[in-house]
Structure 1
Amino acid sequence: MKLVLGRDDLAAAALSAVREEGTEPERVGIKPVHKASRGFVNHSDADLCELAIVTVLQALDHGKPVLLLPVTALGRHQHQTLVTMSKLSVADVEGRSVGVRAWSQTTGVWVRGFLTEQYGVDLRKADWTTYEGHHVEGAEDPSWVKRAPEGSKLPADFLDGRVDFGIMGNELPSDDRIRTAIDHAHEVAEQWSLDQGFIPVNHVVGVSETVAAGHPAAVLAAYDALKSVLTAKEEAGRPFPLHPVGFEALRGAFTKAAAYALEQDVISRAVDYDELVERTCTALGVSPDRLGG
């Protein structure tokens, strides 16, 4: 069984658990981990893979044999990822240029959702530029979004002033001129989470339908091991877990992300979270409560 997990502690736990179930595991080292998504979703290059939440939604939308294992590998607040180098603010997004690595990038989906829901932004009135395609074959950018010229990179375009705003998480360059477009972004993000009841989720874990049906005990053992690591490291005092585990714990984040994705033409149809739950449980031959449902 081939596993792709970005965190060493999660990978070690999953490898050990799968091996104890009699299945020989192999960790496939791909960095950054999101670069493994395309091969996993479209060509089954791995069996269990850390995956962006929006990639899971697009995979379902396009009929890919990908299931959700309800484990959060990466969660974080997102309001601070909308940045600018000018005196512009979030109120100026309409009529300005905004760059995002990919239209389906989960950070971008969260931020555009905040723009429409909290700030009343009409996304079609901004000049959107993307730099990469989608992880899921068959997915396309909306007609009102343009692709940057081949070889262009968002951080460079942003620093050189070719886009007014950028949505950047880990790829944010280090430059003293950069500031968040949303004033007091971290405080706003914390209040958003208090209102919603969860912290935004970026990465979960996907498992191939074939492996789930053929090696359910190994997959369930991996789930238990990942859950053990994440719950043990959860920080005390947080109103909500940063790494929620289990179907019910992830319901809020998935439901909100699916609504944002549909609004933004990232997916072509509404996704009912229970459809994801049912597909996973059917393949593994378990009831939802076995996976925190």
Structure 2
Amino acid sequence: MSKLQLSIAVGNYDRIRPLVDGEIQIEGVDPVFMLQDPEEIFFRAFRHADFDICELSLSSYSVKTAAGTSPYIAVPVFPSRAFRHSSIYVRTDRGINRPEDLKGKRIGVPEYQLTANVWVRLFLEEEYGVKPSDVTWVRGGYEDPTRVEKIMLNLPSDVRLENAPEGKTISSLLADGEIDAVIGPRAPSCFDPGHPQVKYLFDDPHQAAADWYARTKLFPIMHTLGVRKTLAESHPWLPGALTKAFEKSKALALARLSDTAATKVTLPFVEDHLRAARKLMGTDFWSYGFSANEHAINRFLDRHFAEGLSSRRLEARELFHPATLESFAI
């Protein structure tokens, strides 16, 4: 039997490289990898279903799954996870010294329904009492004013969502003081050069996230891996083969990261960060698989439905191909 030649669009992560470099094989598949930024992958996946297999925004995928319109079915592989306490950028001249001070402010977002923003709104409300209806949301591209929301939204009536003025970006609005804050997965361009009036909301986002994890045991899932439904139906072995291969690839990347004889990434003290992550979160801190992540997925889906983003409260199992919900044991 000849192997399936399939397109696979993912980010260029260390946990993916063993697959891209051919060190780990996907059983029955001759992959054509396309390493792209998430924004390009998601736009092409949800507008045109361009890829056979691809990284998917957890939020956009949940919207589509609830509506019954997703061309993809996911496997419990999570190429991107991130704590999002570093995703809130504020003006220093608006009296925003703590999360509660965001009430009544104008906050820019590249898209309202982005996964990162769902997680941020979750902890802002649960930890600090800041509800989505407490602020005015201004939607626009970070650096390109033509960026649009990929998914049609039906938000609660008390949520105020405006479009950025024509020709304006949310980065420029923040730099010019026309909005008070930005929430999103990337830093606005005015932040990195050190704009004198733009800073993180949390003075120490790392510590704030670690404290939150210690209380909640939540390591936010950003992206999952989708396979075109028609492929999964024609080749029922494929979802399991993908899950197995991506797990092996991640394990190899972590083994290399643990080898301190020669640092594998261009960052000093990486071994200290790895040790601290394992002390806080356990050895398998970046877990794949359904059972290990059911808690985080359910918390996300609760929030997603409460915000009016998904049309019904999804069951966690609905997101994933049935063959990937359990695995064999010896």
The answer to whether the Cα contact below 8 Å between 1:13 and 1:222 also exists between their aligned partners in 2 is no
Equivalenced residue count is 284
Question: Structure 1 residues 151, 213: CA separation in 2 closer, same or farther (over 3 Å shift)?
Answer: farther
Structure 2 residue 60 is the aligned partner of structure 1 residue 55 = yes
Structure 2 residue 265 is the aligned partner of structure 1 residue 228 = no
Question: How far apart are the structure 1 equivalents of 2:209 and 2:242?
Answer: 32
Question: How far apart are the structure 2 equivalents of 1:232 and 1:12?
Answer: 7
Could you tell me which runs of 5 or more consecutive residues in structure 2 were left unpaired when the two chains were aligned. 1-5, 141-146, 255-273
Residue 289 of structure 2 aligns with which residue?
A: 246
Structure 2 residue 137 is the aligned partner of structure 1 residue 128 = yes
Residue 265 of structure 2 aligns with which residue?
A: none
Residue 91 of structure 2 aligns with which residue?
A: 85
Give a deviation string over 1:12-70, Cα, whole Å, max 9, x none: 5168499764443322343x223221332343211111112112211212212321211
Structure 2 residue 221 is the aligned partner of structure 1 residue 201 = yes
Deviation at 1:119, TM superposition (A): 0.5
**1:132-281 maps to which residues of 2 (within 5 A)?**
132-136=147-151, 138-140=152-154, 144-173=160-189, 174-176=192-194, 177=196, 178-234=198-254, 235-236=274-275, 237-240=278-281, 241-277=284-320, 280-281=321-322
CA radius of gyration, larger in: 2
Question: Structure 1 residues 19, 188: CA separation in 2 closer, same or farther (over 3 Å shift)?
Answer: closer
SS of 1:77's equivalent?
A: coil
Structure 2 counterpart of 1:260, one-letter code? R
Question: Structure 1 residues 17, 84: CA separation in 2 closer, same or farther (over 3 Å shift)?
Answer: same
Question: How far apart are the structure 1 equivalents of 2:125 and 2:207?
Answer: 19
More helix by share: 1
Question: How far apart are the structure 1 equivalents of 2:29 and 2:201?
Answer: 49
SS of 1:152's equivalent?
A: coil
Q: What root-mean-square deviation, in Å, do the aligned CA atoms of Structure 1 and Structure 2 show?
A: 2.6
Question: How far apart are the structure 2 equivalents of 1:168 and 1:275?
Answer: 27
SS of 1:211's equivalent?
A: helix
Structure 1 counterpart of 2:227, one-letter code? V
Question: Structure 1 residues 216, 239: CA separation in 2 closer, same or farther (over 3 Å shift)?
Answer: farther
SS of 1:46's equivalent?
A: coil
Could you tell me which runs of 5 or more consecutive residues in structure 1 were left unpaired when the two chains were aligned. none
The answer to whether the Cα contact below 8 Å between 2:239 and 2:324 also exists between their aligned partners in 1 is no
Question: How far apart are the structure 2 equivalents of 1:70 and 1:20?
Answer: 16
Question: Structure 1 residues 183, 91: CA separation in 2 closer, same or farther (over 3 Å shift)?
Answer: farther
Question: Structure 1 residues 207, 14: CA separation in 2 closer, same or farther (over 3 Å shift)?
Answer: farther
Deviation at 1:151, TM superposition (A): 3.5
SS of 1:73's equivalent?
A: strand
Residue 110 of structure 2 aligns with which residue?
A: 101
Structure 2 residue 46 is the aligned partner of structure 1 residue 46 = no
- Compute the TM-score of the two structures, normalised by the length of structure 1: 0.86
Question: Structure 1 residues 288, 129: CA separation in 2 closer, same or farther (over 3 Å shift)?
Answer: same
Question: Structure 1 residues 181, 8: CA separation in 2 closer, same or farther (over 3 Å shift)?
Answer: closer
Question: How far apart are the structure 2 equivalents of 1:57 and 1:291?
Answer: 27
Sequence identity of aligned pairs in percent?
23
